[in-house]
Amino acid sequence: MKRKMEDKDMEIVWQSPANPPERKDYIFRNGRRHVRPYYFEFIAHVKNRWAGKTIVDLFTDEFKGRNRDYYISAVKCGRIQVDGQLVPVSFIVKPSQKISHFLHRHEPPVMTWDVKILQTEPDVVTICKPASVPVHPCGQYRKNTVVGILQAEHGLAPLFPIHRLDRLVSGLLILARSAAQADIFRQQIEGGMVHKQYIARVIGEFPEEEQVVDANINHNAREGRSSAEVGDSCGDAPTKGKTACTKFTRISTNGIQSIVLCEPVTGRTHQIRVHLQHAGHPIANDILYLSKDVIDRSAGGMGADRAAANSDHSPASGFSENKSTEHEDSSEDFSIDPMCTNCPSLAPKGYDYHEEALWLHCFRYSGPGWVYECPHPDWASLS
């Protein structure tokens, strides 16, 4: 199916279903993997609190990443539609109506490190995930993900990640090649039959004896960070967050930093990072959990995660992704869209390049009758 947007400046042709990621979708510049900008449609249904607003006021009030003049133009040329129809800028939206926003999508870049395949089996693929690459589509990332890159460069699809690693964490990632195999792994994980091992480089001289941190994890999705909380049996106030437990064992130390074996018993967001901070030995390059001073100093920039979270079409906004197609290649790396608020830059507006791989690495998962491993990174040696 093809549709043409009514744009005086250019004619855009797009089609459905969405094209899968391909090798040609990527541009490599200055040590970073970029995605050629592509046209994409975001869809949402009108929430009750949106009802009664004009279509322009709705977008201006709710999605502040673009200015009012942009939204007026987008409505007039048909890039914003209601129930698949062009509407005037004065159109009043009603509950449950379908709103679509067709735009030129720019994904944040990731580092150019390869997604290295460790093992390929009939039902399982294991890879060594590089830091900076998210596992699966989320926020502003779709093609710049482990799943997208494996499909584009190795033709591996569909894939079902059976666990996740934070975007800045590296190491072993297990992907099932069928939903049935993924269910087997998930049942083993939920049944407590899977043992997970990570390695971290932390601040200070970590104690020689095993340390067990048993502290609830309270995740704040809006801030993109978690905190640890220990319950008070004598207190009246209930503890917040989810129960979490991690075992830590020192591998080596030079008195200034230590290499620590991390064995999470549960799997909460940022669990190892928060529990190491709680133990007084945060990961040595983890600006999010090193100290309040570091967090305050870094708040001015916007890394890829913050850019994704602040996207005007983030999952929290109620918008979902629908259809996309690549624009035809030109003599340049990509074609400029005159209405796009990110062009001519490859990265989305607000992206901060000052990021580095977190010194946290998953190196082994084991379960009933199976073990998968990943080599240690270079930073895991203090010599």
Q: Which residues are catalytic?
A: 166
Strand partners, 59: none
Structure tokens at 126: 């294991």
Structure tokens at 31: 């040590």
Q: Collapsing DSSP states into helix, strand and coil, what is residue 133?
A: coil
Q: What is each CA distance from 116 to 110, 328, 375, in whole angstroms? A: 15, 30, 11
Question: Whole-angstrom Cα distance, residue 32 to residue 345?
Answer: 14
Structure tokens at 364: 């082994």
Q: What is the DSSP letter of 254?
A: -
Question: Whole-angstrom Cα distance, residue 295 to residue 224?
Answer: 12
Strand partners, 85: 82
Type of residue numbered 362: C
Q: What is each CA distance from 296 to 32, 288, 289, 303, 306, in whole angstroms? A: 27, 9, 11, 14, 14
